[in-house]
Structure 1
Amino acid sequence: MKKLILASAMAALLAGCGGSGSSSSPSIPSKTGWLDGQIQQISHSQQSLRVNGHQLDATHADINYRGETIPFADLSNGMRAQFDVADNKISEMKLDPSLVGEVSEVSGNKFTVNGIELEFNGLAGIRKGDWVMVTTYPNADGGHEVASVSKIDPIARVEIEGRVSGLTSSEFNLGTLRVDYSNADVDDRDELENGAWVEVYGDFYDNNNFKAYEVEVEDDADFDDFEIEGMVTWVNSDYTLFELNGRLRIEIDDDTEFDDGRRSDLTSGRWVEVEVEFRQGRLVAEEIDFEDGGDYDRGREFEVEGRAQYRNNQLSINDIVIDTDGRTEWDDGLRPSNIDGQWVEIEGKYINSRFVAFEIEKEDRDDDIELEGPVNNNSLWGYQAGDNSLRKYEGRWVDLDCDFEGNKLYDCDD
């Protein structure tokens, strides 16, 4: 995995750098606080590991998953966890896998857990019927990149996490999985809404259906004063709001500091470490540290301007439906009750064959327009080209500037 390779290479480089004219070892900066990130460079013999660039001592750490003690010997590089650290010593480590369950299929580097097919190069020793703990991170295009697969003893309940959609009083979707939570113990039930990030524990039944016994709704306040690492999965156009790991929305303000990069470098696919603070109901970035190079994928982001239609609780532009949920940012006083007929700009991501709005704001209608999305039949976002400038982009996902006359596009260029 790119981030693990980069971290290892950086560590090797730092290890090889000695002070000029001195044989003394450099002092190790002391770290205290809560960290959220990957285990790296684990040493089972020394019971030490590296997280977010910090070398930590886990000799006396309480290591657990949902209250169950986990031996240090069962940890592996790539696992995600939350760490309570004082002076580089871990007092508690809470494992935070993406999936826990039984492997139903294995074929080469591909395997299936909880109905989700994944790919990982380190599957040696993993067989059908094994129980595993899997850590994944989202790709910028909406897929999953596996960081770790660890064999564990069978446990009572399967775990799966993700963002809620299609919520009813008894069911909701996590991707293509339908979850029945009618008899579940729901933590923060008032916060369970479309767009909420949840961890669900339960059992499968009848193919792709899932019976939940417990649902934990993620609360941004739990990340107050955390240092979190992960992948940027969305950024708004004015660089004031971004999404980390497909789950946390984090604001940027004038006091946010940037290390090894600038605000404009914050782009989908970048790997970053972020120090956050919870203020007035929102997570705000105090510092953003860029961790990787410039080769990254923007992913399936979209941007559109147009006359909003709002009918039967459904938003659309040019009859193209755009979903909203509890995490959609409604700016400039816009609400479902007053958006119909307004000229707006909408930014978001294409997820599971749905356009999902992340931010909606008012916009002036001009004679030029910026659109990002798929080109089909010489048309982009329902606007037909009045010339042939879209022809060369046919079938592609593009980000274009176009002249805008009436409801037609001209001279579109990237």
Structure 2
Amino acid sequence: MKKMALASLVAVAMVGCGGSSGSGGSAADTKTGRLDGQVANISHSSKTLNVNGYALRSDGAPVMYRDGVELPFDQLVNGMRVQIDADNNQIETMKLDPSLTGMVSAINGDTFTVNGITMTFAGLTGINVGDWVMVTTYPLADGSVEVVAVQKVPALGFVEIEGPVSQLDTHTFKVGMVTVDYSNADVDDRDELGNGAWVEVYGAYNTDTKTLLATEVDVEDDHDYDDTEIEGVISWVNNSLTQIELNGRLRIEVNNNTEFDDGRREDLASGRWVEVEMVLRSGRLVATEIEFEDGGDSIKGKEFQAVGEAKYQDGVFTINDIEIELNGQTEFDDGLNHDNLDTSWVEVEGRYLKDASGTGRYVAIEIEREDRFDDDIELEGPVINGTIWGYEATDSSLIKYEGRWVDLDCDFNGTYLSRCDD
């Protein structure tokens, strides 16, 4: 895999804006290496642009897309996502990485539809139904998606969408709400194709059946991000601050050697806009430096922590009859796996997301063993009808949290909670 996808199309609450570029390095800084981020401060006449805060020169480097498709430099606009290899601020290679490409099938004010996906963007002037466009999005921590660029391009003869796989069977899967028929597709890394895997799908979109007939499916690999500086939104942080998820896709380790700019390790939180320099070590991405690029007032996501006896039957995982989704990106620690998960006492961390219909779901990111006989318990999630994660309290300590999403420490006798406090 060559491209590095970031934006999730699984969410639906979309907002329009003009981009969220971070400052990164100063314009005077020298950069040699790989960058992944948004175009900013572009000058078509001088063929210069900024990515992650670095002022870069093009001097004729081609703007490449897929399979040798090349676009002129003057079709680049601020907000488009690119991957660049630079040498002393000189662009050597540049590749476009849109979130989706296709024909506009509907426009209503600031709302438009491409490949069956409806989005909102306040910059559609000059774009009409029937035009081909590249759309760049970034996911927000609450599961919604921010459209940061929509650029008209020539008809390409193929469409693209990207995002995590769900509902995989032998012939189809979904990316967000779009059904993909991959029965006749060339699948890269077929063994890695599974629910939760991040894919880029190319093919033709059938508006009648609302199905993307795939000709190629590329499954992404962490090796693509080795020695890369990338920008994006933290979508999840584990409780020990040793792991983050970036852009709803990349799982990145944080350790005592990770350096922090404009913030501290304790400032890691879902919703923060950051730039991360990372390397691949022992098959895992490790952050060497994290720079905070916002004021800490970004949209926050909903994270959860559940503790209890796991039930895993017929591929369905529950704790206290509350279903938690497992996928190919779920990490099992302490020797746990699908075969021994059932009846184990576990702690689960993850994200709460909503789909296009507004239906919410818990998605497990990390599962580890927990001591069944601890007399205290930490739970994060909603308090509903006097319970949190199916546990009732023997006192009134949950009452004041009714209807709220909270992170609580409680006493626990193995069945009931008491003395819950945030």
Match of 2:381 in 1: 373
Match of 2:275 in 1: 273
SS in 1 for 2:378: strand
1:94 is aligned with what amino acid?
Answer: K
Q: CA deviation at 1:135?
A: 0.4
SS in 2 for 1:339: coil
5+ residue gaps, structure 2: 1-15
1:143 is aligned with what amino acid?
Answer: S
SS in 2 for 1:129: coil
CA distance in 1, matches of 2:57, 2:389: 53
1:36 partnered with 2:36: yes
Do 1:3 and 1:292's aligned partners in 2 also have CA atoms closer than 8 Å?
Answer: no
* Mapping for residues 107-146 of structure 1, pairs under 5 Å: 107-146=108-147
1:124 is aligned with what amino acid?
Answer: T
Greater Cα offset, 60-69 or 33-42: 60-69
Aligned pairs, number: 399
Root-mean-square deviation (CA, aligned residues, Å) is 2.0
CA distance in 1, matches of 2:174, 2:396: 41
Q: TM-score, normalised on structure 2?
A: 0.90
Sequence identity (%): 59
Match of 2:366 among 349, 359, 367: 359
Q: CA deviation at 1:117?
A: 1.9
5+ residue gaps, structure 1: 16-27
Change (3 A) 1:395 1:130: farther
Do 1:138 and 1:231's aligned partners in 2 also have CA atoms closer than 8 Å?
Answer: yes
Do 2:306 and 2:389's aligned partners in 1 also have CA atoms closer than 8 Å?
Answer: yes
CA distance in 2, matches of 1:3, 1:158: 24
Match of 1:88 in 2: 89
Match of 1:287 in 2: 289
CA distance in 2, matches of 1:277, 1:406: 43
Match of 2:197 in 1: 196
1:185 partnered with 2:181: no
Match of 1:100 in 2: 101
Change (3 A) 1:182 1:370: same
CA distance in 2, matches of 1:7, 1:226: 16
Do 2:62 and 2:73's aligned partners in 1 also have CA atoms closer than 8 Å?
Answer: no
CA distance in 1, matches of 2:183, 2:285: 31
Match of 2:57 in 1: 57
CA distance in 1, matches of 2:351, 2:340: 23
CA distance in 1, matches of 2:177, 2:144: 13
Match of 2:80 in 1: 79
CA distance in 1, matches of 2:410, 2:119: 39
Spell out, residue by residue over 1:37-84, the C-alpha distance to the aligned partner (whole angstroms, 9 max, x if none).
100111112110001110000122111111211111100000001001
CA distance in 1, matches of 2:20, 2:100: 23
SS in 2 for 1:190: helix
1:274 is aligned with what amino acid?
Answer: V
Q: CA deviation at 1:176?
A: 1.8
Spell out, residue by residue over 1:89-147, the C-alpha distance to the aligned partner (whole angstroms, 9 max, x if none).
10111000001112222222222222222121212222222211010000111110011
Q: TM-score, normalised on structure 1?
A: 0.91
CA distance in 2, matches of 1:310, 1:161: 30
Change (3 A) 1:52 1:382: same
Match of 1:263 in 2: 265
CA distance in 1, matches of 2:286, 2:22: 26
2:265 is aligned with what amino acid?
Answer: R
Match of 2:4 in 1: none
Match of 2:253 in 1: 251
Change (3 A) 1:180 1:61: same
CA distance in 2, matches of 1:41, 1:386: 59
CA distance in 2, matches of 1:396, 1:109: 33
CA distance in 2, matches of 1:197, 1:217: 6
Spell out, residue by residue over 1:311-335, the C-alpha distance to the aligned partner (whole angstroms, 9 max, x if none).
1232210011112122111111111
* Mapping for residues 322-401 of structure 1, pairs under 5 Å: 322-351=324-353, 352=355, 353-365=360-372, 366-401=374-409
CA distance in 2, matches of 1:289, 1:334: 34
CA distance in 1, matches of 2:302, 2:149: 25
SS in 2 for 1:254: coil
1:189 is aligned with what amino acid?
Answer: R
Change (3 A) 1:109 1:385: farther
2:223 is aligned with what amino acid?
Answer: A
Match of 1:18 in 2: none
CA distance in 1, matches of 2:20, 2:392: 45
Match of 1:20 in 2: none
SS in 1 for 2:98: coil
Match of 1:308 in 2: 310
1:214 partnered with 2:222: no
More relative contact order, 1 or 2 (CA 8 Å, 6+ apart): 2
CA distance in 2, matches of 1:46, 1:241: 41
Q: CA deviation at 1:306?
A: 0.8
1:84 is aligned with what amino acid?
Answer: D
* Mapping for residues 138-157 of structure 1, pairs under 5 Å: 138-157=139-158
1:405 partnered with 2:413: yes
Q: CA deviation at 1:4?
A: 4.4
1:79 is aligned with what amino acid?
Answer: M
CA distance in 2, matches of 1:192, 1:92: 29
